[in-house]
Amino acid sequence: MEVRLTNRAAAPARLITCYEGEQPCTGDLPRLITQLIREMAEDEAFSPKFGTTLVLTPGQKEAPRHIVLMGLGKAEEFSAEKARKLAGRAFKEAKKLKAAGLDIDSAALNGKIDSLELGRALAEGAMLASYKFDKYITGRKENPVEAVYILGEGDALSQGINEGLALAEATNLARILTDEPANIMTPAHLAREAEEAGAKYGFEVQVRDEAGIRALGMEAFLAVARASDNPPRLIVMRHMGDPDSKEILGLVGKGLTYDSGGLSLKPRQSMDGMKGDMAGAAAVIGAMAAIAQLNVKANVVGVVAACENMPSGKAFKVNDIVGSMAGKSIEVLNTDAEGRLTLADAVSYAVAGEKATRVLDIATLTGAAVVTFGKITTAVLANDDAFYAKLQEASELAGERIWRLPHDEEFKELIKSDLADVRNTSKDGAGTITAGLFVGDFVQDKPWLHLDIAGTSWLTGEGDYNPKGATGVGVRTMFHLARELDK
């Protein structure tokens, strides 16, 4: 599917919008059709509250075959996120109608938010809603909607559409990587996908095998990886968009391509979905694609420690004490708290190996984050207020909600070990906070952000523009963060 800017309406389906207390914006539609739409808008069956929808099939040659009337709510409350949802919902209505094309009139929405932001949000919403992972279904039906046309003109609107398309493409890349089954998406396969993305979008990729990982002293990472027949990979991606600057943003994604729990084996129902335990890695690969494609003037390094956590005679065990790249010892009290071990070495490498001056890690890390925030909000820990403020700005631009958790010193007492420098589980609750603080213990006091996407990376039902399954959460937030840091 494509999204294009045009000044001529010609698609078989047309989106007409209506704010509360205002007449629908019908543009160049014939007078009789305009009158009919206004009557529909005033009907008791329709409410102009955001998302309310009615479909009209006029049956006149001068009019589109289908008119989708959609409420926008109060004009003063319209936002980029609502534009994104609007485009996603409109696309889904067009798909239901089997319309080959959909027109969206930007003039009805312009002035509420700036043209660049509007174009970006509409393009994102339509393209994100078009995603469906069905490649393994024989005889699958193709998407009937071939194009979404945004009616309007201007350089800012055009630039916004182009940005939105790039960001949606990168998000959909992350979704594909996460949705792939684990028998396909092994650590080696994930590394190849990163290399292909680098070649396509223009960022450097370096992959280290098990011997290369061992040479770096990544003992915690290798402890998790050693039970699997699929060997680990360390994936490093680089975009040097500002070579004169010494500032480097490190993006570190958890890359467990399958997590059985290891010897602390998960029950069957908890294993369902564990192919998605590399959603953080997928998000980092997607973010690097967007950053490179849109040529962000910033230095960004992506790091992924990719492996599987499996049971076998070689598996690491409860009560083991393992080393790490940073030289710290770790007491293992749960082999299903493995992601933080791989992240410990990955963030250490980002700082020591790639000279990152700021670090963000993103991971499907704790079930406690799902208990707290469900599928709606990403949990965040931060050790730097200014860095977190930039993340807030970025998440608002992306429409991806976040919430900062406390990180008082008392929480660190919960991961102190009697036998090693740190333990990999909490002594007493605060699971999301202590898991994040464990990772933060390895960033060498650099400004640091930790995003726990255990809930937000995967949906069990469709959203306005998110599919059932992988959401690609974090891609657009990390892109905007890189660009915000450039300002």
CA-based nearest residue to 302, from 230, 198, 395: 198
486: left (phi over 0), alpha (psi -120 to 50) or beta: alpha
Q: Mean pLDDT, to the nearest integer, of 31-52?
A: 82
Distance CA 100, CA 168 (A): 20
Query: Residue 30: which pLDDT band, with cuts at 50, 70 and 90?
Result: confident
Scored b (16 or more CB within 10 A) or e, 141-162 reads: eeeebebbbbbbeeeebbebbb
Q: How far apart are CA 385 and CA 296, in angstroms?
A: 23
Q: Which residues pair with 5 in a beta bridge?
A: 150
Residue 108 has pLDDT above 90, yes or no: no
Residue 63 has pLDDT above 80, yes or no: no
User: What is the DSSP code string of 216-284?
Assistant: TT-HHHHHHHTT-SS--EEEEEEEES-TT----EEEEEEEEEEE--TTSPPPHHHHTTGGGTTHHHHHH
Predicted local distance difference test score (pLDDT) of residue 270? 95
The pTM for the full model equals 0.97
Q: Rounded to whole angstroms, what are the CA distances from 445 to 21, 103, 421, 441?
A: 53, 51, 17, 8
Q: Is 26 exposed, middle or buried, given 0-12, 13-18 or 19+ CB atoms closer than 10 A? A: buried
CATH number, domain 2-153, options 3.40.1390.30, 3.40.220.10, 3.40.50.10490, 3.40.50.300: 3.40.220.10
Rounded to whole angstroms, the Cα distance separating 334 from 261 reads 9
Residue 24 has pLDDT above 90, yes or no: no
- Residue ranges of domains in the chain: 2-153, 168-486
So what's the pLDDT on residue 90?
97
Mean pLDDT over 371-394 rounds to 98
The pLDDT score that the predictor gives to residue 25 is 81
Q: In one letter, which amino acid is 99?
A: A
Tokens of 183: 């028998």
Read off the pLDDT band of 43 (50, 70, 90): confident
For the domain covering 168-486, report its CATH number. 3.40.630.10
Per cent of the chain over pLDDT 70 is 99
The predicted structure's pLDDT at residue 487: 74
Distance separating the N- and C-terminal Cα atoms of the chain: 33
Task: Give catalytic residue positions.
Answer: 266, 340
Q: What CA–CA distances, in Å, run from 442 to 183, 258, 342, 350, 352?
A: 31, 24, 11, 10, 10
Beta bridge partners of 330: 322, 422
- Hey, how many other C-beta atoms are within 10 angstroms of the C-beta on 132? 18
Q: Which residue has the higher pLDDT, 58 or 324?
A: 324
Q: What is the CA radius of gyration of the chain?
A: 24
- Whole-number pLDDT of residue 143: 78
The predicted pLDDT at position 47 comes to: 82
- In this prediction, residue 28 carries a pLDDT of 77
Between these two residues, 363 and 60, which has the higher pLDDT value? 363
pLDDT per residue over 153-195, tens digit each?
999 999 999 999 999 999 999 999 999 999 999 999 999 999 9
pLDDT of residue 199: 99
Half-sphere exposure of 387 (CA within 13 A, CB side): 18
Which of 313, 324, 331 lies closest to 228, judged by CA?
A: 313
Q: How many CA atoms lie within 13 A of 276 on its CB side?
A: 23
Phi-psi region of 62 (alpha: psi -120 to 50; beta: other; left: phi over 0): alpha
Average of per-residue pLDDT values in the chain? 96
Each residue's pLDDT tens digit, 84-101:
999 999 999 999 999 999
Give CA 125 to chain center in angstroms: 14
Of the candidates 396, 390, 436, the residue with the CA atom closest to the CA atom of residue 415: 436
Q: Is the pLDDT of residue 471 over 90?
A: yes
pLDDT band at 112 (very low <50, low <70, confident <90, very high): confident
| Residue range 286-324, pLDDT digits in tens | 999 999 999 999 999 999 999 999 999 999 999 999 999
The predicted pLDDT at position 445 comes to: 94
Q: pLDDT at position 46, please?
A: 79
pLDDT given at position 327: 98
- For 395-427, the pLDDT digits (tens) are 999 999 999 999 999 999 999 999 999 999 999
Q: Confidence band (pLDDT; 50, 70, 90) for 31?
A: confident
pLDDT score, position 433: 98
Helix (H, G, I), strand (E, B) or coil at 366: coil
Q: What is the mean pLDDT of residues 200-228?
A: 99
- Residues pairing with 449 in the sheet: 360, 382
Query: What average pLDDT does this structure show over 59-65?
Result: 76
Predicted local confidence at residue 38, as pLDDT: 85
Residues 6+ apart with CB under 8 A from 475: 167, 170, 171, 174, 283, 286, 287, 290
Question: What secondary structure letter does DSSP report for 426?
Answer: -
Q: Using alpha carbons, list the distances in angstroms from residue 283 to 6, 85, 168.
A: 32, 21, 12
Nearest to 237 by CA among 180, 199, 274: 199
* Strand order through the sheet with 101-105: 2-6, 147-151, 101-105, 13-19, 66-73, 53-56
Distance CA 475, CA 288 (A): 8
| Across 105-109, 332-336, 429-433, 440-444, least confident range | 105-109
- From 378, 379, 360, select the one nearest 432 (Cα to Cα): 379
Question: Which H or E element spans position 211?
Answer: helix 210-215
Identify which of 352, 330, 349 has the alpha carbon closest to the alpha carbon of residue 341.
Answer: 330
Q: Which residues contact 418 (CB under 8 A, 6 or more apart)?
A: none
